[in-house]
Structure 1
Amino acid sequence: MFETRGFNLFMAFVCHQLLVAAYYFQYVEGMDPCPLCIFQRIGVLAVGIWFLIRGIHNPLPGSIARPVYASLGLLSAILGGVVSGRHIWLQNLPEGEVPACGPALDYLMEMLPVSEVIGAVLAGDGECAKVSWSLMGISMPGWVLLFFIGVGGLMLFSLYNHFRQTKVTI
């Protein structure tokens, strides 16, 4: 079921809708994203691209493309989950331990090499520690983390099925 073209295209659509929701909150509700939010969007986009490619290609059972897509999707989900986890950690810091707000992401991109920008963004700042929206007591990064955990589980299940069906030993 999780290997079908329809399911993969549906999951690509889910990723699309998550990005639409993020832009709705940004442009309609006026909630400006922090740098960690932007990186989470990139993670959702990466997962969506892998689901879209996997859905369009629709590799046959036993094809080497299936574990490749699943591995790349799992990697994207893990990286996105790390960013979401870091964001949640910052949001739960005591007020005295929250880092000071830093420069905007576009300024960092102009002034620093990409590797330093990634390090600065993952360090987080006071802007990232603010919880401006929650549903059932879970903040936006929490919901995104749950999404990444779900996708990671699906990718692990896909890898397990592939290797079980092809009788490949690791």
Structure 2
Amino acid sequence: MSSARYLYLSLFSLGLVIFAVLLQQTGYRGVSFLPCPLCILQRVGYLGVTIFCFLAVGIAPLRRFFHVLALLSATYGVSVAGRQVWLLSHPETSCGIDPLEVWINQFQLSQGVPWLFKADGLCSAQLPTIFGLQVPEWSLFWFSVLFLILLATLFKKNP
């Protein structure tokens, strides 16, 4: 895959994190979108894709290594987003305060950059849809797209 394509994937993935933070800060249709623990873990997955694709641009000899790490980040994101989509369809399985929330909020990143990494919401909260899908469903879709692109281009030579 070319450097430009890695850069596009990196910027796209970063754009999705920025969109999530904007949604968290401004809300949508008068509803505040507080991130839940699984949302924070998905942000980590998107940031993984962002960082590894960006490193693939800058460090050409290790490009395939960073490609694999970006693919693993997307795989991780698909699994976390898939779990949250499952929780949305089974809200009775989610408890009030998630033990994962306490664990995530104890990390230094959560305390240092709370607007990006602090979990405050419930994983099974039914929030307004955006173009017919809940945010976790969109996240699963975009992680799947990133995964498929990275998988399809894993063994292709650079043009």
TM-score, structure 2 normalization: 0.77
Whether 1:40 aligns to 2:42 is yes
1:150 matched to which residue of 2?
145
Alignment of 1:27-66 (within 5 A): 27-29=25-27, 30-57=32-59, 59=60, 65-66=62-63
Cα distance change, pair 77–32 in 1 and its aligned pair in 2 (3 A): same
Q: Which residue of 2 aligns with 1:17?
A: 15
- Secondary structure in structure 2 of the residue aligned to 1:134: coil
Whether the 8 Å contact between 2:87 and 2:93 is mirrored in structure 1 is yes
Q: CA deviation at 1:131?
A: 2.2
Aligned residues: 141
RMSD: 2.5
Rg larger in 1 or in 2? 1
Q: CA deviation at 1:150?
A: 1.3
Q: What's the offset of the Cα at 1:111?
A: 6.9
| Amino-acid identity (%) | 28
Give how far 1:153 is off: 1.2
Deviation at 1:4, TM superposition (A): 1.5
Point out where structure 1 has 5 or more consecutive residues left out of the alignment. Answer: 113-125, 166-170
Q: Deviations 1:60-84 (Å, cap 9, x if unpaired)? A: xxx5x33312211111111111000
Identify unmatched segments of 5+ residues in structure 2: 108-120
Give the TM-score, by structure 1 length.
0.73
Between 1:97-106 and 1:41-50, the stretch displaced more is 97-106
Displacement over 6 Å in runs of 4+: none
